[in-house]
A and B are shown apart, each in its own frame.
Chain A
Amino acid sequence: MAKRELAVSFDIVREKNLEQLKLLNSVIFPMKYADEVYRQCMACGDLTQLAYHNDVLVGAITVRCERQPNGKAKAYIATLGVLAPYRNFAIGAKLLQRSLAAAQQDPNIEEAFVHVQVDNEDAIRFYQRHGFEKGEVVKDYYKKLSPPDAVVMSKKLAA
């Protein structure tokens, strides 16, 4: 099926629209993320991206930086989600591309990674299409989901 297009504009997360992002994630994901996660993401500038259609928030990728022992950093994708009626318009792909492009602007960020539930084949394929590779499997990563295991997928970013 050919991807249909939907006019989308992008923005970053700020204090004033943070509640919208929380509301969006609360209806897309089966768990609630701690306020701390959002604080960390907000501190990382334009790594986190919000997608708007007609000035209405319809999808978001939330990303935070994790410092590495060698002084470098990794970008960790905490959530990537689009409201159900707005899926299959390639909004998720655009969000991921914009976030990765923003990460590439920072020479300290050498890698992006994400946890994916092991049986989420759609998501695994999606990340593979964008150059991510499967890594180790973390046992019992999800406490309230079944299956509880997650696979780590990562992508090296060109320095």
Chain B
Amino acid sequence: MSTPQPTQPLPSKEAVLFKHVLRFHELKQYKKAIKTADQILKKFPEHGETLAMKGLCLRLMTPDTDKEKKEEAYELVRKGVKCDLKSHVCWHVYGLLYRHDREYKEAIKCYLNALRIDKENIQILRDLALLQIQLRDLQGFVDTRHQLLTAKPSNRSHWITFAVAHHMNGNHDLAVEVLNQFEATLEEVPAGEAYEHSEMLLYAAQVLAEGGKPEEALAYLDKRKDKIKDKRGLDEFTAGVLLRVGRLVEAAAAYRRLLDVNPNNYKVHEGLRAAMELAPAADGSLTDAQRARLSQLYDELAAAFPGASACRRIPLDFKVGDAFKAAADAYLRRGLTRGVPSLFVDMRPLADADPAKRDVLLALAESYRDALRAGPGAAFPPLAGGAAGGEAPAPESPQTLVWVLFFLARFYDRLGRLEEALAHIDEALAHTPTVIELHTAKAKILRHTGDLEGAAHCAETARRMDLQDRYLNSLAVKALLGAGHCAAAERTASLFTRDGEQGAFTLFDMQHMWYELAAGRAHAGKGPAGRGPALKKFQAVVSHFADIAEDQFDFHSYCVRKGTLRSYVGMLGMMDRLYGHPFFSKAACGAVRVYLDLHDRPPGAANGADEEAALAAMSPEERKKYKLAKKKEEKEKARKAAEDKEREEREKKEREKAAAQKGGKKPAAASKREPDPDPEGAKLAAVADPLAEAAKLVEMLVKHAGSRLSSHVLAAEVALRRGRQVVALAALRNAAATAEAKAAGGADHPEVHALLVRLAQAFAASPPENEVVKAVVGAGLAELLGAGVTPAAFAGRWRAAHGTKSLDHRLAAARAMVALAETGGSAPSAAARTAAAAHVAAGAAEYGPASRPLHAQCVEVHRLLRDEWGVAEAADKWRAGCAAAYPHSRYFGGSKQMALDPSYDFENMREAFGKLSF
């Protein structure tokens, strides 16, 4: 291999200096590297490779936020490339620079240029391959890995990665062929590499099986049994493949051996049942003969593994009738006597799936309750299906009643019988108030009754009962956010972060996504003032996903070196599906909604007008209250600001003191950190073109979460606002198809319908200028609306057919009415808004505690009627209806609100209760 001669040779002294520059760069001593480079540049200011290296080192020591320095670094490298176009070093460095800033496509271009000059540079080829697999340029990856293998066939990892490349590129046969050839070159596996070799063999078998050759995979492994170290992995894989190829007797034997290892592995149970042809049919049904054999099997397993809970629990899935009742009776008693808090969660799938089982479980629990309420020395009733005149059950511990009441409360809560749920949880609390789960369950039930503040109080009580329990802390944080106490929630969550008050950083660094989502939602619910903080949280989650995708970079080389190929390939698959994760969808949808709101109600302009409109809609009494509250709020704000400042100073002093005490050592890493330049997301909310930001997120949603209706609905919302009618039409088609697939009515789905009307209205008012586009949208609408049907007629027909089916339907019909009145960009008339609001509010009369929409949605609708549409009469009617349906609701002023402990003053909380050092 020949390296091309440098085009700008340096004299020997400078050549040595340049080597030092490279050395310092490797050692990450960037300052020294730059100093040395400057020495060369003094004599040779046009030396390209030195310029490039200086630029790279400058970039590496500059924080990401320093845009000026960053630009300077790029200038240096570009100048270096210009001075020495024929140097592979310059191009390589340019590529490294782009790679550092995650601009992989640009980086690949630079590497390819470098390779044009130096065809067989291993280092550059390796860097290029990493980028190609990161970007899933699979054909390019195969080619590069082929070059590397040809250049250095003695390297084990070159063989393996080449095989992986073929596998990822869908060429299973070639992948196995490469591995086989590599195996043939080995004379003996050194003891130190035995495990890596074993992993390679298992990987090869997996590729064979995936490539449609399961029998070959079995034979392959059988021949190499002795070399496999991961015996369990081998057994699990073999069992799975035996089942797949229909060698059922052998598969069943394999699964039984696995059960001996872990009788609680549900996957193994499932495999065993499938191998014995006892799996349910596609519709979930079993034949009587299957049931009988299942009973027999599980009687046998329960005897063989008396300690395994899986062997007791699984029969509840397949048993029916009296057999189910007897099994459930025994199972429940055991859990209740032991006080298993998760017993209801364990039973919930049964109750949800089968009304008959639900009734049996409920009746059993109620019979326990009635028997155990008898007082001291009470016992369970006789066993269901037990022999008559059998031994009477022994007295239970007094606590069993508490767990029965707890179980029933959760059950009633699930069934929507919330009053009974509350009565049972209160009875249990009066009996033994020190059971922490009772408080968390009460919080949950209160949340369902619409009392979010009460829920926060109960969750906080539970948290205080065990300050070291992270789960309780998380529940409290969630409940606080639900009630809108964002600051208190953050302080509470920060109790479990490393650096206390700087917790916000740690919460971000730990990619604390459920918290960020809940906080984002809580902030977004606060109206215009909450938009900045909400965006901050949602965008944080979006950036976590970019970071996670980025994190795989290190594994491309690491996993091959460690030989963990099966996990590596699994990780690649996970990364391919990464953005389909529900957390991403939730964050992106949340952010898009805020951006839409920013577009519809831009900050600044609306501020005064909004308030005036709100004031006008209020009664004089309310107005007085509002003004008082506002004054108080301002005072409070000033007080808080002063306090925060004081606290900050105090803490700073404390930190300095602590640092001084540590003998003048460096202050802790956390305190060195630059403060967040935009802690409240004000800059995010001040974005010039919110729709463009929304469009970026929507694109990701449609691409990665296409099975979610909200992805397409939001795509249509954004496209309508941007005047892109073709895009909106396509989005609505997708939305209708998604709704169809979920059996949610296709184009008749309320959200889809309301958007269709808006699109038709927009098309009628201002059709696209381009004739072709106009024809496409026109034809598409004619297909969806019916030829020659006006938007108003279309909406009218839908309203008559579906408009009162549910709250969602009522809302859609009303939104369509408002949209139709919005002609030529003018605001809809008061009459249209009043009629629309009345159509929605009329639904409230039908609600009662037994049948009602979600509380959060009711609140949203109330705000829509009162604030956005400004129809006070309908809003009041709505509120009265909801207050009757939600008697515990604080928002609607229900009649049964729980008394609260005034000492929990969440809004003015200075410090979260129970600061502990762990």
Interface residues of chain A, those whose CB is within 8 Å of chain B, are: 4, 6, 15-17, 19-20, 23-24, 27, 53-58, 83, 85-86, 88
A residues near B376, Cβ cutoff 8 Å: 85, 88
A57 touches B431 (CB 8 A): no
Binds A, one of B432-440, B774-782, B801-809: B432-440
B338 within 8 A of A: yes
B434 touches A15 (CB 8 A): no
A57 touches B434 (CB 8 A): yes
Taking CB as reference atom, which chain A residue is nearest B467?
A: A16
Taking CB as reference atom, which chain B residue is nearest A60?
A: B434
A residues near B432, Cβ cutoff 8 Å: 56, 58, 83, 85
B830 within 8 A of A: no
B282 within 8 A of A: no
Rounded to whole angstroms, the CA-CA distance of A86 and B375 in the bound complex is 11
Rounded to whole angstroms, the CA-CA distance of A86 and B377 in the bound complex is 11
B464 within 8 A of A: yes
13 contacts between A and B (CB under 8 A): A15-B467, A15-B914, A16-B468, A16-B914, A19-B464, A19-B465, A23-B433, A23-B434, A54-B339, A58-B432, A83-B432, A85-B399, A85-B431
Q: Indicate whether A54 sits within 8 Å of B433 (C-beta atoms), given known contacts A16-B468, A20-B465, A88-B376.
A: no
A residues near B914, Cβ cutoff 8 Å: 15-16, 19
Taking CB as reference atom, which chain A residue is nearest B434?
A: A57
B residues near A56, Cβ cutoff 8 Å: 339, 399, 432, 434-435
Rounded to whole angstroms, the CA-CA distance of A24 and B537 in the bound complex is 39
Q: Which of B401, B432, B914 has the most CB of A within 10 A?
A: B432
B397 within 8 A of A: yes
Rounded to whole angstroms, the CA-CA distance of A15 and B914 in the bound complex is 8
B384-417 residues with Cβ-Cβ distance < 8 A to A are: 395, 397-399, 401
A54 touches B399 (CB 8 A): yes
Known: A23-B465, A54-B339, A56-B339. 20 other contacts (CB 8 A): A4-B377, A15-B467, A15-B916, A16-B466, A17-B465, A17-B466, A19-B465, A20-B465, A23-B434, A24-B434, A27-B433, A53-B399, A56-B399, A56-B432, A58-B399, A58-B434, A83-B431, A83-B434, A85-B398, A86-B398
Closest chain-A Cβ to B537's Cβ sits at a distance in Å of 30
Interface string of B462-500 (1 = CB under 8 A from A): 001111100000000000000000000000000000000
A residues near B466, Cβ cutoff 8 Å: 16-17, 20
Rounded to whole angstroms, the CA-CA distance of A55 and B339 in the bound complex is 9
Rounded to whole angstroms, the CA-CA distance of A55 and B466 in the bound complex is 12
Q: Indicate whether A54 sits within 8 Å of B397 (C-beta atoms), given known contacts A15-B916, A24-B434, A83-B432.
A: yes
B408-465 residues with Cβ-Cβ distance < 8 A to A are: 431-435, 464-465
Rounded to whole angstroms, the CA-CA distance of A20 and B467 in the bound complex is 10
Q: Top 4 A-B pairs ranked by shortest CB distance?
A: A85-B398, A57-B434, A19-B464, A16-B467
A residues near B339, Cβ cutoff 8 Å: 54-56
Rounded to whole angstroms, the CA-CA distance of A6 and B337 in the bound complex is 13
B325-343 residues with Cβ-Cβ distance < 8 A to A are: 338-339
Closest chain-A Cβ to B914's Cβ sits at a distance in Å of 8
Rounded to whole angstroms, the CA-CA distance of A88 and B431 in the bound complex is 16
Rounded to whole angstroms, the CA-CA distance of A19 and B466 in the bound complex is 8
Rounded to whole angstroms, the CA-CA distance of A18 and B493 in the bound complex is 20
Rounded to whole angstroms, the CA-CA distance of A85 and B400 in the bound complex is 11
Q: How many residues of B contact A (CB 8 A)?
A: 21
Rounded to whole angstroms, the CA-CA distance of A6 and B433 in the bound complex is 19
Rounded to whole angstroms, the CA-CA distance of A88 and B433 in the bound complex is 19
B residues near A86, Cβ cutoff 8 Å: 398-399
Taking CB as reference atom, which chain A residue is nearest B401?
A: A85
B residues near A27, Cβ cutoff 8 Å: 433
B residues near A83, Cβ cutoff 8 Å: 431-432, 434
A6 touches B435 (CB 8 A): no
B397 touches A6 (CB 8 A): yes
Rounded to whole angstroms, the CA-CA distance of A15 and B466 in the bound complex is 9
Rounded to whole angstroms, the CA-CA distance of A57 and B402 in the bound complex is 13
Closest chain-A Cβ to B153's Cβ sits at a distance in Å of 61
Closest chain-A Cβ to B342's Cβ sits at a distance in Å of 14
Closest chain-A Cβ to B628's Cβ sits at a distance in Å of 34
Taking CB as reference atom, which chain A residue is nearest B915?
A: A15
B344-380 residues with Cβ-Cβ distance < 8 A to A are: 376-377
Rounded to whole angstroms, the CA-CA distance of A16 and B436 in the bound complex is 13
A residues near B464, Cβ cutoff 8 Å: 19
Taking CB as reference atom, which chain A residue is nearest B430?
A: A27
Which of A4, A16, A20, A55 is within 8 Å of B916, CB to CB?
A: A16
B99-133 residues with Cβ-Cβ distance < 8 A to A are: none
B residues near A15, Cβ cutoff 8 Å: 467, 914, 916
Taking CB as reference atom, which chain B residue is nearest A55?
A: B339
B398 touches A54 (CB 8 A): no
B residues near A55, Cβ cutoff 8 Å: 339
Taking CB as reference atom, which chain B residue is nearest A89?
A: B398
Taking CB as reference atom, which chain B residue is nearest A86?
A: B398
Rounded to whole angstroms, the CA-CA distance of A55 and B403 in the bound complex is 13
Closest chain-B Cβ to A30's Cβ sits at a distance in Å of 16
Taking CB as reference atom, which chain B residue is nearest A20?
A: B465
Rounded to whole angstroms, the CA-CA distance of A88 and B395 in the bound complex is 14
B residues near A24, Cβ cutoff 8 Å: 433-434
B residues near A54, Cβ cutoff 8 Å: 338-339, 397, 399
Closest chain-B Cβ to A62's Cβ sits at a distance in Å of 15
Closest chain-B Cβ to A6's Cβ sits at a distance in Å of 6
Closest chain-B Cβ to A152's Cβ sits at a distance in Å of 30
Closest chain-B Cβ to A14's Cβ sits at a distance in Å of 9
Taking CB as reference atom, which chain A residue is nearest B462?
A: A19
B residues near A4, Cβ cutoff 8 Å: 377, 395
Rounded to whole angstroms, the CA-CA distance of A88 and B375 in the bound complex is 13
A residues near B916, Cβ cutoff 8 Å: 15-16
Closest chain-B Cβ to A15's Cβ sits at a distance in Å of 6
Taking CB as reference atom, which chain A residue is nearest B439?
A: A23
B residues near A85, Cβ cutoff 8 Å: 376, 398-399, 401, 431-432
A residues near B377, Cβ cutoff 8 Å: 4
Rounded to whole angstroms, the CA-CA distance of A23 and B464 in the bound complex is 10
B897-918 residues with Cβ-Cβ distance < 8 A to A are: 914, 916
Rounded to whole angstroms, the CA-CA distance of A104 and B263 in the bound complex is 49
B residues near A17, Cβ cutoff 8 Å: 465-466
Q: Which of B339, B434, B435 has the most CB of A within 10 A?
A: B434
Closest chain-A Cβ to B309's Cβ sits at a distance in Å of 18
Closest chain-B Cβ to A85's Cβ sits at a distance in Å of 4
Closest chain-A Cβ to B749's Cβ sits at a distance in Å of 49
Rounded to whole angstroms, the CA-CA distance of A65 and B397 in the bound complex is 35
Closest chain-A Cβ to B367's Cβ sits at a distance in Å of 20
B residues near A6, Cβ cutoff 8 Å: 397-398
Rounded to whole angstroms, the CA-CA distance of A55 and B397 in the bound complex is 13
Rounded to whole angstroms, the CA-CA distance of A17 and B914 in the bound complex is 10
Closest chain-A Cβ to B406's Cβ sits at a distance in Å of 11
Closest chain-B Cβ to A48's Cβ sits at a distance in Å of 16
A residues near B399, Cβ cutoff 8 Å: 53-54, 56, 58, 85-86
A53 touches B465 (CB 8 A): no
Taking CB as reference atom, which chain A residue is nearest B403?
A: A54
A residues near B435, Cβ cutoff 8 Å: 56
B residues near A57, Cβ cutoff 8 Å: 434
Rounded to whole angstroms, the CA-CA distance of A27 and B431 in the bound complex is 10
Rounded to whole angstroms, the CA-CA distance of A108 and B466 in the bound complex is 33
Rounded to whole angstroms, the CA-CA distance of A54 and B395 in the bound complex is 16
Rounded to whole angstroms, the CA-CA distance of A56 and B402 in the bound complex is 11
Rounded to whole angstroms, the CA-CA distance of A53 and B395 in the bound complex is 16
Closest chain-B Cβ to A118's Cβ sits at a distance in Å of 29
Closest chain-B Cβ to A8's Cβ sits at a distance in Å of 11
Rounded to whole angstroms, the CA-CA distance of A53 and B339 in the bound complex is 10
Rounded to whole angstroms, the CA-CA distance of A83 and B434 in the bound complex is 10
B residues near A20, Cβ cutoff 8 Å: 434, 465-466
Rounded to whole angstroms, the CA-CA distance of A85 and B338 in the bound complex is 17
A residues near B468, Cβ cutoff 8 Å: 16
Rounded to whole angstroms, the CA-CA distance of A15 and B338 in the bound complex is 27
Closest chain-A Cβ to B27's Cβ sits at a distance in Å of 47
Rounded to whole angstroms, the CA-CA distance of A17 and B465 in the bound complex is 6
Rounded to whole angstroms, the CA-CA distance of A58 and B433 in the bound complex is 9
